[in-house]
Copies of this chain bind each other. A is one copy, B any other.
Amino acid sequence: MRQEVKDLALRQLAEGGATALSINAVAKELGVSGPALYRYFPSRDALLTELIIDAYRDLTAAIAGAGDFSGLAAAYRAWAVAQPHRYRLLFGAPLPGYDAHDVQLVAAAQGAMAVLLAVAADSPDADGALKVQLEGWQPGVPPGRALAGVSAWTRMHGLVSLEIEGNYASMGIDPDLLFRYEIDRLNSGR
């Protein structure tokens, strides 16, 4: 039942945009009255939090077995393109009135980043204040690697987020070709 609620909630998010998560609407589609769902989730925010944590874990799983960095990048993109609503849940604008400071949520996000850092190259350019910050952020990781990880994530996110909002499509440019071009560049250190 909890799973059914989540599935329907995701489907409604997919159809109606990030604000479209409504307990009443989910209940209705489930053929049940609104208050019934409060047996399973204490509040709308709790449901939302669970969806986000699920999404982090799912994304993490999707990129974990993808091989080297190129494989990870392809898996990251494929996951996002297949379910843009979940990608937005993770990296889009914060939902009004929703406080994203749940402990499990932060842990789930770190899990995904750990997978990325495991296959990131090493950048020789981490120095000065940036180096100190990178060491503070990921104490066990060489700062050059942490920098390469953040940088790679940033570039993937730029590509993926513009793709899922249809920006390349409206230019008549195939996102696939652009993605390959950028990842090749990134891999060759450019």
A residues near B (Cβ < 8 Å) are: 16-20, 88, 91-97, 125, 128-130, 133-134, 136-137, 147, 150-151, 153-159, 161-162, 165-168, 171-174, 177-178, 181-182, 185, 189-190
- A154–B166 Cα distance when bound, in Å, is 13
Residues on the B chain within 8 Å of A92, using CB: 92-93, 165
Whether A151 contacts B182 in the complex (CB less than 8 A), given A133-B173, A161-B161, comes out as yes
Residues on the B chain within 8 Å of A130, using CB: 173-174, 177-178, 181
Closest to A19 in B: B19
Whether A93 contacts B136 in the complex (CB less than 8 A), given A150-B171, A159-B154, comes out as no
Closest to A167 in B: B91
Whether A162 contacts B157 in the complex (CB less than 8 A), given A137-B172, A178-B150, comes out as yes
